[in-house]
Amino acid sequence: MIDRLISRLELLLLRHAPKLSISLKSRRYHTLHTDRAFLDLFDALQRKGVIIQSVSEAYNLWQLCPQTARVLGDVAEVGVYRGGTARLLSAVKGKRRLFLFDTFGGMPAVKEGVDKVHEGSFSESRLPEVEALMAGQEGVQFCPGFFPETAKTLPSDATRFSFVHLDVDIYQSTLDGLRYFYPRMMPGGMIVSHDYRYLQCPGVRQAYAEFFHDKPEPLIELWDTQCLMVKGG
């Protein structure tokens, strides 16, 4: 009886509020309901107000990062903000090092006419607060400042990467991330980018289109706004 009522509600929502309908139906039978470790950590991060990704996007990272455990190389995130996804990645990266890049002071300069995010946005990000969130997590190194200049602070042996998360919102930072990490990704390594399908961040999609126009790897679009690239051999 309840299932029939829910099905009717989903149909009604599909007609009048399609985004809400898809969200409800896709999660109702998803295996994430059985992943207690993820749910507990995601809930804790939400309560602290340090994660803005949807449950789908967070779970994508939670599942994809461990799949690269046998790929040589480190893990990196560009665009840490308040540390929510960094904390998720630290829980599933295994023994790999995790390098975290962010200005910890807001957005860098944006491309006029392309980016809708403004310079200085997300300035509420604070390095000491993120360091406190990551306390006790092994193999984590912070790289504060403007990327890719801050990549010069990496250890000399940090030349190969197995998993990279880009969450930078704007054209130039996305392009910089792809230019730096793509040639350093090992075969089977993954780059996941946030906001690729987000209408308020058109610069992300434009940067991907320009960078991958002559690359062999296909881009896989994920729910909700992410995209995935798996490095070929």
Please provide the DSSP assignment of the chain as one string: -HHHHHHHHHHHHHHH-HHHHHHHHHHHT-GGGG-HHHHHHHHHHHHHT---S-HHHHHHHHHHGGGGTTSSSEEEEE--TTSHHHHHHHHHSTTS-EEEEE-SS------TTT--SPTTTTTT--HHHHHHHTTT-TTEEEEESSTTGGGGGS-TT---EEEEEE---SHHHHHHHHHHHGGGEEEEEEEEETTTT-TT-HHHHHHHHHHGGG-SPPPEE-SSS-EEEE---
pLDDT band at 88 (very low <50, low <70, confident <90, very high): very high
Give the pLDDT score at 13: 63
Span 145-174, mean pLDDT? 98
Give the pLDDT score at 196: 98
Instruction: Pick the range with the lowest mean pLDDT from 11-20, 35-44, 159-168, 184-193.
Output: 11-20
Q: Report the share of the chain in percent with pLDDT over 90.
A: 76
Give the pLDDT score at 119: 87
Residue 103 has pLDDT above 80, yes or no: yes
Residue 138 has pLDDT above 60, yes or no: yes
> What is the CATH number that goes with domain 50-230?
3.40.50.150
pLDDT digits (tens, 9 = 90+) for 51-82: 999 888 999 999 999 999 999 999 999 999 99
Residue 129 has pLDDT above 90, yes or no: yes
Give the pLDDT score at 65: 99
Residue-range domain boundaries for the chain: 50-230
Average pLDDT of the chain is 92
Q: Would you say the pTM of this structure is higher than 0.85?
A: yes
